[in-house]
Amino acid sequence: MTQVRLSDSILNQVDKPARYIGGELNSYKKEITENMIRFAFCFPDIYEVGMSHLGMQILYHFFNKRQDVYCERVFAPWKDMEALMRVNSIPLFSLETHTPLKEFDFLGFTLQYEMSYTNILNMLELAGIPLYSHERHEDGPLIIAGGPCAYNPEPLAPFIDIFYIGEGEVSYDLLFDKYQLWKASGGSKKDFLAQLLEVEGLYIPAFYEESYNTDGTLKAKTPLHPLAKERIRKVIVKNMDDVFYPEKQVVPWIQAVHDRVTLEMFRGCIRGCRFCQAGMIYRPVRQKSKPILMKHAKNLLQSTGYEEISLASLSTSDYQDLESFSEELMDLCSSELVNISLPSLRVDAFSVDLMKRVQEVRKSSLTFAPEAGSQRLRDVINKNITEEEILNGCKLAFEGGWNRVKLYFMLGLPGENTSDVKAIAELAEKIVGIYYQIEKEKRQGAIQLVVSTSCFVPKPFTPFQWASQDSVESFMEKHNLLKNTITRRQIKYNHHDAQTSILEAVIARGDRRVAKLIERAFRNGCTFDSWGEHFNYVKWQQAANETGIDFSFYANRERSYDELLPWDHIDIGVSKKFLINENEKSKESITTPHCKEKCSGCGISKFEEGVCNEN
């Protein structure tokens, strides 16, 4: 085994050298044997971001519980370190053993955000590994990718050998077993990939090809192997109480973005917001029981020494036993002097009361996500909350001692008009007005209200997957309109970059041709595109001109229901018929009740798990 040795002179030249040394509390140090599978878990962003990711913590410990697998971590080096690595011919390496990535059996990339894709190519190049799968040799590692963005695998298909569709705890053991058998048999990589065609949840892009119509739309996706399935069905964990969950987390040397214990409460969401990809691809809702959650909380706090615990799920307020669980967790955390961090909650009396009890001593800001300013548009997107509930929730928060509130909205939603944009400012000003209706002695100083808007990005597997996206110019007009409509000095307005959102839509809804755009942008020097100070729209436009990729074709064009979409071969369980019905209902501002209120027949019940089974 080769080992990369970083001299003190190199580490002394970079910001935060602890990003590159490894050896943290609860990381693994294994004796490497001849038949051990070497797996590099690659996070295409810097150490502080990747160490905050719950999925990495789960799979890192899940893989390492096998005696024949050694999973090590790899993060994208920051600009200063990358420059030194290139000058000194240092290949990208793992943290645990400082092994060059070329020597691993698998490189596993998690796809969390489309704007990290150029980092993936950069990491492969830094490792000395050819970018395209057809150019790689028999003795090099296999490249596997999973995560939410893998549900449209096509923009990265030419670079990736295996896409994992679904939850990692389900099929990886079978994949590793097959790899051990294949390695012993001495076959080719193509033989191994062909064997994986039988494994549920795995998509091998080399065994499929795309063809296109004269108008540029997708004509067909054709399997090239008799075992290649027409549709790849995602895999899900059936019982959340029985599924593996780590008793410890790796504790980083330096402060991570989310520097605390993370407790996963459940997977899925009952709400059905029409813009939300996570709410569709993670269905059905499957909860962990209170005793299991308490056991995990005690284990993690004891093994890490963290002074804060965060509750993780798409909609924490919907946990079935939230009241009794939160009481028990607060008792534990109070005795251990541990803070509880809650994510964005629904604007209702119980959520505010829960926040009040959790933050009795130190009140941080409250975060709510109405998503749209007008009731009509909230009905369009199926955000089942009224203005009265929003104002009443804020009133309860103010009476409880809060004076800092963050509100999240989206601009460019389907069906949006000028009055909807202005309604965001009007709602914010009503909230400020509510604060000053509270008795003066109950107020905690001046109110601080932050209004943040992101740009709507139509994502695969949502009812809005066929929708057009606003242009950069339209987004900027709406930003300026909202900024000028907000008149109160107590309201601060932030907005997301429109150009980044356009590219996010291009990649999110892209086909295999978009891979050329990603590679060319990378060759033009684009990396860390999710970091505002490093994003360069001009270089992406240059890449588009050089590859013949039209941004408007992927981002701004409305699709018809009969168009074949690049991700139609992926089966998430939610039917296309349901998504079409939801899109049509949105045009009439008709809402759909949540899953526990009434089954909407989305199709996910075929998994016979979770809330579908309960109902």
> How many Cα atoms within 13 Å fall on the side-chain side of residue 147?
23
What is the radius of gyration, based on Cα positions, of the chain? 24
Tell me: the pLDDT tens digits for 132-159?
A: 999 998 889 999 999 999 999 999 999 9
Cα separation, 115 vs 132, whole angstroms: 19
Amino acid at the residue 434: I
Average the pLDDT over 364-382 and give the result: 91
Structure tokens at 65: 């519980």
Residue 191: count of CB within 10 angstroms of its CB: 11
Q: Give 267's contacts (C-beta < 8 A, 6+ positions apart).
A: 167, 236, 237, 240, 282, 285, 286, 313, 314
What CATH number does the domain containing 147 carry?
A: 3.40.50.280
Query: Residues for the chain: how many in total?
Result: 615
Tell me: the pLDDT tens digits for 20-32?
A: 999 999 999 999 9
Confirm if 207 and 225 have CB atoms less than 8 A apart.
Answer: yes
Max Cα–Cα distance, the chain, nearest Å: 78
Is the residue at 22 inside a domain?
yes
Cα separation, 44 vs 121, whole angstroms: 9
Backbone angles phi, psi at 318, to 5 degrees: -90, 5
Find the helix or strand (DSSP H, E) in which 155 lies.
Answer: none
Tell me: the pLDDT tens digits for 388-445?
A: 989 988 888 888 778 888 999 999 999 999 999 999 999 999 999 999 998 887 777 8
Structure tokens at 556: 């701004």
Over 50: is that where the pLDDT of 306 sits? yes
Is the residue at 380 inside a domain?
no
Domain that includes residue 83, residue range: 8-233
Q: How far is CA 83 from the centre of its chain?
A: 28
**DSSP three-state, residue 603:** coil
Average the pLDDT over 25-54 and give the result: 96
Residue showing tokens 């460019």: 412
Is the residue at 228 inside a domain?
yes
Is the residue at 349 inside a domain?
no
Structure tokens at 537: 């729209």
Is the residue at 47 inside a domain?
yes
Structure tokens at 229: 């399935």
Cα separation, 576 vs 76, whole angstroms: 37
Over 80: is that where the pLDDT of 375 sits? yes
**CB environment 512-528: b (16+ within 10 A), e (fewer):** bbbbbbbbbbbebebbb
Confirm if 571 and 579 have CB atoms less than 8 A apart.
Answer: no
Is the residue at 189 inside a domain?
yes
Confirm if 47 and 77 have CB atoms less than 8 A apart.
Answer: no
**DSSP three-state, residue 110:** strand
Structural domain count of the chain: 1
Q: What is the mean pLDDT of the chain?
A: 93
Could you tell me which residue, 445 or 595, shows the higher pLDDT? Answer: 595
Tell me: the pLDDT tens digits for 85-101?
A: 999 999 999 999 999 99
Task: State the pLDDT confidence band at 258, using cuts at 50, 70 and 90.
Answer: confident
Structure tokens at 103: 């020597």
Write down the pLDDT at residue 151. 98
CA dihedral sign of residues 191, 131, 163, 555: negative
Is the residue at 163 inside a domain?
yes
Question: What share of residues in the chain are helix, strand, coil (percent, to 5)?
Answer: 40, 15, 45
Cα separation, 152 vs 465, whole angstroms: 12
Q: 500: closest CA among 566, 553, 545, 454?
A: 454
Task: State the pLDDT confidence band at 361, using cuts at 50, 70 and 90.
Answer: very low
Is the residue at 528 inside a domain?
no
Write down the pLDDT at residue 134. 95
Over 80: is that where the pLDDT of 161 sits? yes
Structure tokens at 228: 């290649």
Task: State the pLDDT confidence band at 350, using cuts at 50, 70 and 90.
Answer: low
Could you tell me which residue, 106 or 361, shows the higher pLDDT? Answer: 106
Average the pLDDT over 549-569 and give the result: 98
CA dihedral sign of residues 105, 45, 122, 78: negative
List the single range of 1-10, 251-260, 360-369, 467-476 with lowest mean pLDDT. Answer: 360-369
Cis before 593? omega within 30: no
